[in-house]
Amino acid sequence: RKEVEQDPGPFNVPEGATVAFNCTYSNSASQSFFWYRQDCRKEPKLLMSVYSSGNEDGRFTAQLNRASQYISLLIRDSKLSDSATYLCVPSGQGNLIFGKGTKLSVKP
Amino acid sequence: DAGVIQSPRHEVTEMGQEVTLRCKPISGHNSLFWYRQTMMRGLELLIYFNNNVPIDDSGMPEDRFSAKMPNASFSTLKIQPSEPRDSAVYFCASSYRKGNEKLFFGSGTQLSVL
């Protein structure tokens, strides 16, 4: 099993839609989790941190399921500007291994 | 703060040449990471330092790759000799604490080896 697995997508959704991505991880010792957003030809930037069962920030909700070892990212009321690749990264023993990312494309 | 600064932004070189990528982390951050990103393999961790000491270099692909962090404000990633398959975007990132804090990325170096 790979350390971090994500559905590569692309997810093509209309504006206003709700979309969710999952990320599974293999290191059960991971304590904290992060979602990053990467725009085309740009560096990744932190979107959300998850330290307990979940976190909510406006239209974005991240949830953690430790028993099944996955984290999810829910985006409500999608905007055109949400189009990007979303990367998840569980934090383990200091190294930070990223998933390959899920590409989201929001259409008018 | 200016953020993580990487140079050069773009590097085009010929196979066999030495390439040196540079990174200045955010002041006060004590962890520094080097990543390589390609379409096929995604974002791969090459090596990371904590308090200027290399902690995990298991991601360094070959002996042709080496990284140093002589002080808290500077790191280099060197490829010697370079090969076409090394072509990728190389990102440097820093964080305040080892592993459990968010990463701040530089803008990356686009490397093309012809």
pLDDT of amino acid A47: 95
In order of A30, B12, B90, the CA distances from B54 in angstroms are 21, 28, 18
pLDDT at residue B63 is higher than 60: yes
Q: Per the structure block, which two tokens stand in for B101?
A: 């804090």
Confidence of residue B96 (pLDDT cuts 50, 70, 90): confident
* Cα distance between residue B102 and residue B96, in whole Å: 8
Confidence of residue B79 (pLDDT cuts 50, 70, 90): very high
User: Looking at the partner chain, which of A36, A91, A95 has a beta carbon nearest the beta carbon of B45?
Assistant: A95
Instruction: Indicate the SS3 state at residue B41.
Output: coil
Per-residue pLDDT of chain A (108 residues; tens, 9 = 90+): 678 999 988 999 999 999 999 999 988 888 888 999 999 989 999 999 888 888 899 999 999 998 999 999 999 999 999 999 999 998 866 678 899 999 999 999
Choose, out of A43, A85, A86, the residue to mutate when testing the contact with B (most B CBs < 10 Å): A43
Q: What is the mean pLDDT of residues B18-30?
A: 96
Q: How would you classify the pairing of strands B19-24 and A60-65?
A: unpaired
Q: Please enumerate residues of A whose Cβ is less than 8 A from a Cβ of B.
A: 31-32, 34, 36, 42-46, 49, 87, 91-101
The alpha carbon of residue A51 is apart from the nearest alpha carbon of chain B, in Å, by 10
Which residues in chain A are contacts of B106 at CB distance < 8 A?
43
* Cα distance between residue B41 and residue B2, in whole Å: 29
CB contact under 8 A, B108 and A43: yes
pLDDT of amino acid B99: 56
pLDDT of amino acid A32: 84
Q: What is the mean pLDDT of residues B57-66?
A: 92
Choose, out of B31, B43, B90, B109, the residue to mutate when testing the contact with A (most A CBs < 10 Å): B43
Q: What is the pLDDT of residues B31-58, one digit of tens each?
A: 999 999 999 889 999 999 999 999 999 9
* Cα distance between residue A92 and residue A68, in whole Å: 17
